[in-house]
Amino acid sequence: LVNNNKLIARINVDGLKILGTGSYVPELIVTNQMFEAIVDTSDEWITSRTGIAQRHFVSGETSLEMVKAACAGAIADAGIDKGDIGLVICATVTSDYITPALSALLQRELDLPEELLTFDLNGACSGFVYALHVAQSLLQHQPGKYALICAGEILSRLTDFSDRSSCVLFGDGAGAALIGIEENNPYAFAAGAKGNEEFLSCLHPLTGNHHPFGEQKPQQTESPSFLSMNGQEVFRFAVESISKSVANLKQNLQLDNDTITYYVLHQANLRIIYSVARKLAEPLDKFFININKYGNTSAASIALALDNMNRQGLLQRGDTIILAGFGGGLTYGSMLITW
Ligand code: ACO
């Protein structure tokens, strides 16, 4: 355990091993040109300021259907016996229900054993790496050999389609990883949070007193709760926190740039990825990019990226990969895994 500048980095040679990946995106593709018809924007502005060319939106699919498809892909890719799964964590801010959790419903949907620990995790765009780390810790104490970690978001549910500065950014999708613990498999994780609802937030639809006994009258929500964001502040936070977090992780582990095969950052804005690459003095071709196809899918983005890389044959066993998420909270987390 290393404590450097309040950043906690754990190195654990019995690290998590990703044994299989899966993903799902809805069929409906929404291009930048389609936004030109609803807000004052242009394909040129969106592409040059964000790197996004298109995103996928649900047209009927639920969050559960999306994460189920992603998880089924990860289980098939890993080729393990489902009966050996002991833990399911789903990272999401757009579950279909307040309760039950998506992870609990996955037990039924995927015909998983009943002896399971399941819960959803709200870590916004850091959610998938947070869930991987929680699984890495819990797997040592759970009866099952494997954990199923997924992330799925329907951000189009939370998007204000009259706000041109945010509506062009988000997309819907899901990703999943089937993980186990492997001896002598280097692993490290570092996270941080800076509580802030001013720069990025989405009010819960159930706020205020609803019971009939207090002074305050029940609050009538005038409009649905949408995501609001101060893009420039979030941009600054993302670049600073991720550059610092990744640099500290590498410094604590005494890793030089040559050791890292790939960086898989949350896909929020291509310019954030460029800035982080510059600050880390790393070439851009080490940074996997798919934001052009999917936009910002919050917790799902790193999971989706890993599955794309896996299925494109980019990953070799033994590769050292840094995953880095950042977003609502404000939260951030970076993780070193060995493929
Ligand atoms: N089309 C055309 N013009 C636009 C659009 C648009 N879609 N959106 C904003 N503009 C205009 C603005 O009104 C402004 O015009 P003005 O100069 O006349 O006032 C101009 O473009 C520049 O606006 P900025 O906000 O300065 O644009 P910026 O270059 O910062 O890009 C963006 C905005 C893309 C939102 C960027 O700040 C960003 O990506 N921020 C980070 C977002 C992020 O990382 N989110 C992650 C968390 S999300 C989650 O947790 C779910």
Please list, in sequence order, all residues whose beta carbon lies within 8 angstroms of the beta carbon of residue 247, skipping any fewer than 6 positions away: 279, 280
Q: Does ligand 1 come within 6 angstroms of the Cβ of 186?
A: no
Q: What's the length of the chain?
A: 339
Q: Does ligand 1 come within 6 angstroms of the Cβ of 328?
A: yes
Q: Angle, nearest 10°, between helix axes 63-78 and 300-311?
A: 40
Please list, in sequence order, all residues whose beta carbon lies within 8 angstroms of the beta carbon of residue 248, skipping any fewer than 6 positions away: 4, 5, 7, 9, 190
**Distance (Å, whole) CA 326 – CA 121:** 15
Query: Encoding tokens for residue 36?
Result: 């030109």
Alpha-carbon distances of 141 from 87, 103, 145, 146, 237, rounded to whole Å: 10, 19, 10, 11, 35
14: buried, middle or exposed (CB in 10 Å: 19+, 13-18, 0-12)? Answer: middle
* 3-state secondary structure at position 93: coil
**Distance (Å, whole) CA 255 – CA 261:** 12
Catalytic residues, by residue number, are 125, 266, 296
Q: Does ligand 1 come within 6 angstroms of the Cβ of 327?
A: yes
Per residue, what are the HEC states of 229-255? ECHHHHHHHHHHHHHHHHHHHHHHCCC
At 162, which amino acid appears?
S
For residue 165, give the ligand 1 atom closest to its CA.
8
Instruction: Collect the ranges in the chain with pLDDT lower than 50.
Output: 1-7
Q: Does ligand 1 come within 6 angstroms of the Cβ of 291?
A: no
Rounded to 5 degrees, φ, ψ at 105 are: -65, -25
Q: Does ligand 1 come within 6 angstroms of the Cβ of 226?
A: no
Is residue 74 within 8 A of residue 150, CB to CB? The reply is yes
Q: How far is the CA of 152 from the centre of ligand 1 (A)?
A: 24
**pTM (2 decimals)?**
0.94
**Distance (Å, whole) CA 102 – CA 300:** 14
Q: How far is the CA of 271 from the centre of ligand 1 (A)?
A: 11
For residue 50, give the ligand 1 atom closest to its CA.
34
Is residue 231 within 8 A of residue 166, CB to CB? The reply is yes
Q: How far is the CA of 231 from the centre of ligand 1 (A)?
A: 5
Is residue 264 within 8 A of residue 302, CB to CB? The reply is yes
Q: Given this model, what pLDDT does residue 283 score?
A: 97
Q: How far is the CA of 160 from the centre of ligand 1 (A)?
A: 14
Q: Does ligand 1 come within 6 angstroms of the Cβ of 50?
A: yes
Q: Which helix (H) or strand (E) holds 66?
A: helix 63-78
> Which of 31, 154, 165 should be mutated for ligand 1, with most atoms under 8 A from CB?
165
pLDDT in tens, 247-289: 988 888 888 899 999 999 999 999 999 999 999 999 999 999 9
Q: Given this model, what pLDDT does residue 183 score?
A: 86
Q: How far is the CA of 257 from the centre of ligand 1 (A)?
A: 31
Q: Given this model, what pLDDT does residue 1 score?
A: 37
For residue 238, give the ligand 1 atom closest to its CA.
44
Q: Given this model, what pLDDT does residue 4 score?
A: 46
**Residue of minimum CA distance from atom 36 in ligand 1:** 231
H-assigned helices in 94-230: 102-109, 127-138, 164-167
**Residue of minimum CA distance from atom 10 in ligand 1:** 165
Q: Does ligand 1 come within 6 angstroms of the Cβ of 296?
A: yes
Q: Given this model, what pLDDT does residue 333 score?
A: 95
Q: How far is the CA of 168 from the centre of ligand 1 (A)?
A: 9
